[in-house]
Structure 1
Amino acid sequence: MHVCVLGAGIVGLATAWQLERQGHQVTVIDRAAPGSGASGGNGAQLSYSYVQPLADPSIWKQLPKLLLSSASPLKLRPQLDPLQWRWGMEFLAACNARTSRDTTARLLELAASSRIEFEAMRAELSPDCDFSATGKLVLHASAASLEGARAQLELQRRMGSEQRLVTPEECVAIEPALASYRDRMAGAVYTPSECAADCLKVCTELTKALGARGVRFITGTDVRGFVRSGRRIAAVHTGSGDVEADAFVMALGSASHKLGRALGAYLPVYPLKGYSITVDVDPAPGAAPRVNVTDSARKVVFARIGSRLRVAGMAELVGHDASIPATRIETLAAATRALFPHASRLEELHPWTGMRPATPKGLPIIGRLESAPSNMLFNTGHGALGFTLAFGSALRVAQALKT
């Protein structure tokens, strides 16, 4: 079967990988180079066992501060955009304990599958991607915040995750680079099995491997529409002409909503804009972290990728605004100086922004939809967990194609 994958981010490339391994002829289409969208400078963490969805009951108490503070990691800029308002209302409706618990269970199941498939890819390709498996610390600044994390920890532990609460002293023992920050944290959630890698490098390695196996890449061209044939799609319109296939997979991230609407399908996918910096680290022992670290108060993540440190954070509902305000980059630099003052001179920050394709509940849209053509499958809406979930969701798409 000839399958056309729309999108060459980590989700689209993982989908192409699974489909090619199952014997399909595959074409990948994207308007940009593989991995250059939301995958290019993401947080680099592979968070297989700590998947707390953004839609959580705690959002209600945090909402005034998150929306009104100029330094807030969450920012909303209301627009004349029906999707933004509809998405926002659906997101708030999902901020309850029952929905959060169900979402957590489903994400953990998908993440466990994704870990297996990612490791299978690594075993086969041995990609140069700065992979590490050093665990993760989620830091909490107050006893109340740490206690609030206990419920999520217990929920995830009952579902099979290996996690525990640790004291500030234990945090420093696990990650010595946190020594100067010890007195400013109440403790952390420690997950020893978590990993990290450079997602852009994974995308580059996958592209090379897939090209060598006969996968066709059409890049630098937009998907503009579809040629319909009854309940099926015969071809996609692109800037380079029509591309025919037997089946199609939409993995276009935050662009999925618009094209889904052209097919008669409602895809509640809205861009959550995030930022990152990538800095060279001081190689001295204990200067820069090797363990993944998440600062829950600042909503900033740190991941070691080779001789560099990736620092990422923020979630802005501002549409498709690709500008990079200097204040946001300074926020990430300030967080780095606060937690890891000896990690880097911060001479070159390599600022980046990307649009995480998020659904209100935090669950990706995978497989067929009744409202869409029968030979169109979807793999979109992974939010901040795109890298983590990519290979598991790709497997589900490949399995759905058989039915």
Structure 2
Amino acid sequence: MKIAILGSGVIGVTSAWYLARAGHEVVVIDRQNGTALETSFANAGEISPGYASPWAAPGIPMKAVRWLMMKHAPLILRPHADMAMLRWLTAMLGNCNARDYAINKSRMVRLAEFSRDCLIELRKETAISYDERMQGTLQLFREQKQLDGIGKDVAVLKADGVPFEVLDRAGCIAVEPGLAAGEAPIAGGLRLPNDETGDCFKFTNALAAMAAEKGVTFLNGTAISRLVAENGRIVRVETDRGPVTADTFLVAMGSFSPQLVAPLGIRLPVYPVKGYSLTVPIVDESRAPVSTLLDESYKVAITRLGDRIRVGGMAEISGFNLDLPLARRATLEHSAGTLFPGAGAMEKASYWCGLRPMTPDSTPVIGATKVPNLFLNTGHGTLGWTMACGSAHVMADIIGGTKPAIETADLAISRY
């Protein structure tokens, strides 16, 4: 079967790998001149299945009001005349209750844990290298009330059999010694020892090269304009380099997926939520993180990637703009600088932003559509890197008619 994958970020490339491995002829199309040059380029670097949690949670509306007032705000809202934004915000707020939170988190953890297992298998199979580390993730709480509020997350971790540790200040410093030099208060932490880290950009490019060796064709620098349907099926995708035909089409274009499928009568509730990152060269390894730390107060992840520190986070709801305000950079510098002072050369850091494709329930959209030969693998939000291999694996199973290893019915667009 010939399959056209639209999008060559980490989701599109991992999908190409698993589909090619299953024996399909695969072509990947992307407007950028290389792979992983948009949202996959400089993300936080964490592979954290146990921290796969919905943004929509009980108490979030009240927290959001406080966040908007903070100097170093983890949430930034720039409202404008955008019905898609309004629909998305309304739907997200509708998920801010205990019942939906438990349902959404459980299916997110299910997919993320499977994805971590798939990545381990892929690493054994290919010996792929991407500045990977397997030393866990620490969610750090600066305030006692944050630590006291982890009950609902711990309950889900227990239910899903995910190993975890609740640490005091000394325990946090024991797993991340660089914290000892910091000036920030530390009430405690929640550590997931099975989590991993790695450079998503390096991984995606290395896997793309391996996929090309398996026969995958990459049409980079090719802008996609529309999908063309005849007799109820997609027959081709129109691009600025001419039409591309295939038997099956898989949309993996992140935040740009809804616009492509809307003319087909498919309303895909994915909206761009902007995130920022700094990539900082290390100057003092003794003060640097050894793995990933999540700063709960500012929703910032601080990750060790080889001889660099990746500082990423925040959520800005402002449409498709890609500006780089100095205030956002200041928040990243404040979080990392108060926890790991002197670890990196902040003045030499590269500053970046990307558009995370978020669904209102934080669960990606993976599976079939009402068009028989059109499939979706998008909407992973902040967890594209965490969920990529598992999403691609089940997508290859669904397209190939094989029963996936995990339940996937509640991941499809039909849940909306």
Q: TM-score range by the shorter chain?
A: over 0.9
Tell whether 2:362 aligns with 1:362. yes
Q: Distance in 2 between matches of 1:331 and 1:318?
A: 18
Q: Distance in 1 between matches of 2:396 and 2:210?
A: 18
Q: Distance in 1 between matches of 2:154 and 2:228?
A: 48
Provide, for residues 290-349 of structure 1, a one-character-per-residue CA deviation record: whole Å limited to 9, x for no partner. Answer: 021000001110111111110001101100001111121122112211100021122311
Tell whether 2:232 aligns with 1:248. no
Q: Which residue of 2 aligns with 1:132?
A: 133
Tell whether 2:41 aligns with 1:40. yes
Q: Distance in 1 between matches of 2:17 and 2:249?
A: 14
Post-superposition offset of 1:283 = 4.5
Could you tell me which amino acid in structure 2 is paired with residue 396 of structure 1? V
CA contact (8 A) 2:72 2:298 kept: no
Q: Distance in 2 between matches of 1:345 and 1:321?
A: 28
Q: Which residues of 2 match residues 258-277 of structure 1 at below 5 A?
A: 258-277=259-278
Q: Distance in 2 between matches of 1:126 and 1:62?
A: 43
Q: Secondary structure at the match of 1:240?
A: coil
Q: Which residue of 2 aligns with 1:147?
A: 148
Post-superposition offset of 1:183 = 6.3
Q: Secondary structure at the match of 1:386?
A: helix
Structure 1 stretch displaced more, 303-312 or 183-192? 183-192
Gaps of 5+ in 1: none
Q: Secondary structure at the match of 2:150?
A: helix
Q: Which residue of 1 aligns with 2:407?
A: none
Q: Which residue of 1 aligns with 2:76?
A: 75
Gaps of 5+ in 2: 402-416
CA contact (8 A) 2:142 2:184 kept: no
Q: Which residue of 1 aligns with 2:54?
A: 53
Post-superposition offset of 1:252 = 0.2
CA contact (8 A) 1:153 1:164 kept: no
CA contact (8 A) 1:196 1:305 kept: yes
Match of 1:396 among 389, 394, 397: 394
Q: Distance in 2 between matches of 1:143 and 1:25?
A: 54
Q: Which residue of 2 aligns with 1:316?
A: 316
Q: Distance in 1 between matches of 2:187 and 2:70?
A: 24
Q: Which residues of 2 match residues 157-306 of structure 1 at below 5 A?
A: 157-181=158-182, 184-284=185-285, 286-306=286-306
With over 3 angstroms needed to count, the CA separation of the structure-2 counterparts of 1:8 and 1:324, relative to structure 1, is same
Q: How many residues align?
A: 400
CA contact (8 A) 1:177 1:288 kept: yes
RMSD: 1.3
Q: Distance in 1 between matches of 2:121 and 2:284?
A: 31
Q: Distance in 1 between matches of 2:12 and 2:227?
A: 19
Structure 1 stretch displaced more, 17-26 or 324-333? 324-333
Q: Distance in 1 between matches of 2:184 and 2:365?
A: 42
Q: Distance in 1 between matches of 2:9 and 2:382?
A: 13
Q: Which residues of 2 match residues 90-105 of structure 1 at below 5 A?
A: 90-105=91-106
Provide, for residues 47-103 of structure 1, a one-character-per-residue CA deviation record: whole Å limited to 9, x for no partner. Answer: 122212111113122021123445311111112111100000000001111111111
Q: Distance in 2 between matches of 1:66 and 1:270?
A: 20
Q: Distance in 2 between matches of 1:99 and 1:50?
A: 17
With over 3 angstroms needed to count, the CA separation of the structure-2 counterparts of 1:338 and 1:267, relative to structure 1, is same
Q: Secondary structure at the match of 2:191?
A: strand
CA contact (8 A) 2:164 2:193 kept: yes
Post-superposition offset of 1:151 = 2.2
Post-superposition offset of 1:173 = 1.0
With over 3 angstroms needed to count, the CA separation of the structure-2 counterparts of 1:97 and 1:317, relative to structure 1, is same
CA contact (8 A) 1:168 1:182 kept: no
Structure 1 stretch displaced more, 176-185 or 255-264? 176-185
Post-superposition offset of 1:263 = 1.6
Q: Distance in 2 between matches of 1:359 and 1:183?
A: 33
Q: Distance in 2 between matches of 1:349 and 1:183?
A: 22
Could you tell me which amino acid in structure 1 is paired with residue 351 of structure 2? P
Provide, for residues 1-52 of structure 1, a one-character-per-residue CA deviation record: whole Å limited to 9, x for no partner. Answer: 0000000000000100110000000000001121001000001000122212
Q: Secondary structure at the match of 1:203?
A: helix
CA contact (8 A) 1:292 1:304 kept: yes
Post-superposition offset of 1:119 = 1.5
Percent identity (aligned) = 36
Q: Secondary structure at the match of 1:378?
A: strand
Structure 1 stretch displaced more, 46-55 or 313-322? 46-55
Q: Distance in 1 between matches of 2:71 and 2:290?
A: 31
CA contact (8 A) 1:172 1:182 kept: no
Q: Distance in 2 between matches of 1:346 and 1:182?
A: 17
Could you tell me which amino acid in structure 2 is paired with residue 2 of structure 1? K
Post-superposition offset of 1:257 = 0.9
Match of 2:382 among 381, 384, 390: 384
Could you tell me which amino acid in structure 1 is paired with residue 388 of structure 2? A
Q: Distance in 2 between matches of 1:175 and 1:182?
A: 14
